[in-house]
């Protein structure tokens, strides 16, 4: 195994700079500040140094799955993480039940496979939601419609048409783990040295797909699972796996809710037509809800923009704005608190 097969490339090397010495490794799994990191020399159980913990101010200062970190081995198979040395774009979402707080899903990802099960609960709004988060992190989305063995050909055609009509320009694959449909096509998409993540609700088949791609090699050892209260095996840890033929896969815990973060850029990419129309509205601060001369509403009325897409856009947009304002509020409070602590210290030291 080489670092290149873990995704290391000249871009990362340039980023480290010529003066960088020491060992680096990639974070392959994380659970409650316990990490597994991996490089060409091996796999290590790792923890962060006291220094890193001391200087870390927020969640984003800690390593996340996909990061490149600098390490030292202090014992057989044990390492200390000194710092995050390379993190490009991060895939994040709003933490469930905590407005204004982003949860970091993974970093340094090239392509996201957004998985939906076609049997029940198929939801195009959710695809758009994931798509927005991906575009926001400069990650290329690919849709996987899984469990096609559970619907008729006609039903599948209808779903495909619905997706194609609304979500333009995204590659789409139909798969069945049970009947081995589409697996070759999926394998063919995966390139050596590139990092892929699997997104989608619990139970859509992400782990099953990863398993089959890895040819059932690693999931049982590499994956640390837990039984939930219904006794069903679900993924609770984020972990990174290597394909036998190259390519790096990141599994993700099933997520019921994927809240928007500061995703304006992603929204613009996911809804290009709405974006285009919005620039033609009479008022530059148009809310596209009721204004006269709103080009978006006009396009919805004429059928140019699908009504469902419009409603979903408005919903995601509002969520995004809410996130931004609550994040701002949090920062303000955080700053005020820091100032108070400083002042208190100053008074004490007089």
Taking residue 15's Cβ as centre, other Cβ atoms within 10 Å add up to 14
Q: Which among 27-35, 100-108, 296-304, 333-341 is the span making contact with Zn ion, rule CB under 5 A?
A: 296-304
286 forms part of the interface with Zn ion (CB under 5 A): yes
* C-alpha atoms less than 13 angstroms from C-alpha of 228 in its C-beta half-sphere: 11
Pick the closer one to ligand GTP by CB: 29 or 176: 176
**In the chain, count of helices (H) and strands (E)?**
11, 15
Q: Is 208 annotated as a binding-site member?
A: yes
Q: Is 88 annotated as a binding-site member?
A: no
Length of the chain: 350
Which of 281, 299, 309, 316 touches Zn ion by CB under 5 A?
Answer: 281
286 binds, among ligand GTP, Zn ion, none (CB under 5 to 8 A by kind): Zn ion
269 forms part of the interface with Zn ion (CB under 5 A): no
150 binds, among Zn ion, ligand GTP, none (CB under 5 to 8 A by kind): ligand GTP
Cα gap 311→125, rounded to integer Å: 9
As a dihedral over the C-alpha atoms of residue 50, residue 52, residue 57, residue 60, rounded to 10 degrees, the angle is -130
288 forms part of the interface with Zn ion (CB under 5 A): yes
Pick the closer one to ligand GTP by CB: 155 or 291: 155
- Residue 38 near residue 25 (C-beta atoms within 8 A): yes
The 8-class DSSP code of residue 192 comes to T
Pick the closer one to ligand GTP by CB: 137 or 204: 204
Pick the closer one to ligand GTP by CB: 81 or 186: 186
- Residue 211 near residue 219 (C-beta atoms within 8 A): yes
Cα gap 349→347, rounded to integer Å: 5
Residues in the annotated binding site: 146-149, 200-208, 281, 286, 288, 294
Residues in the annotated binding site for Zn(2+): 281, 286, 288, 294
Residues at the interface with Zn ion (CB under 5 A): 281, 286, 288, 294, 296
């Amino acid at each position: 195994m080489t670092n290149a097969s873990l995704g290391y490339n000249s871009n990362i090397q340039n980023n480290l700079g010529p003066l960088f010495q020491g060992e680096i490794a990639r974070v392959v799994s994380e659970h409650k500040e316990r990490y597994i990191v991996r490089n060409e020399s091996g796999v290590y159980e790792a923890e962060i140094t006291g220094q890193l913990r001391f200087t870390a101010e927020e969640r984003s200062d800690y390593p996340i799955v996909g990061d490149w970190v600098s390490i030292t081995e202090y014992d057989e198979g044990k390492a200390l993480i000194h710092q995050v040395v390379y993190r490009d774009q991060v895939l994040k979402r709003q933490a469930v039940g905590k407005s204004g707080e982003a949860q970091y899903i993974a970093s340094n990802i090239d392509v996201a496979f957004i998985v939906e099960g076609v049997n029940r609960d198929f939801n195009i709004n959710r695809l758009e939601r994931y798509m927005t988060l991906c575009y926001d992190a400069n990650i290329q989305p690919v849709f996987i419609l899984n469990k096609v063995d559970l619907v008729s050909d006609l039903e599948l055609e209808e779903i495909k048409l619905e997706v194609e009509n609304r979500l333009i320009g995204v590659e789409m694959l139909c798969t069945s783990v049970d009947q081995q449909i589409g697996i070759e096509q999926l394998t063919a998409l995966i390139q050596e040295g590139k990092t892929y993540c699997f997104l989608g609700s619990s139970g859509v088949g992400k782990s099953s797909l990863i398993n089959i791609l890895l040819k059932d090699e690693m999931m049982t050892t590499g994956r640390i699972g837990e039984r939930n209260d219904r006794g069903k095996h679900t993924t609770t840890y984020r972990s990174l796996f290597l394909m036998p033929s190259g390519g790096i896969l990141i599994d993700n815990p099933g997520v019921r809710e994927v809240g928007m973060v500061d995703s304006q850029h992603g929204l613009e990419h996911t809804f290009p037509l709405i974006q285009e129309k919005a620039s033609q509205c009479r008022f530059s601060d148009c809310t596209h809800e009721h204004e006269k001369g709103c080009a978006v509403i006009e396009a919805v009325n004429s059928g140019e923009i699908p009504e469902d897409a419009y409603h979903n856009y408005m919903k995601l947009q509002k969520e995004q704005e809410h996130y931004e304002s609550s994040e701002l509020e949090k920062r303000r409070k955080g700053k005020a608190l820091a100032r108070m602590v400083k002042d208190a210290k100053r008074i004490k030291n007089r």
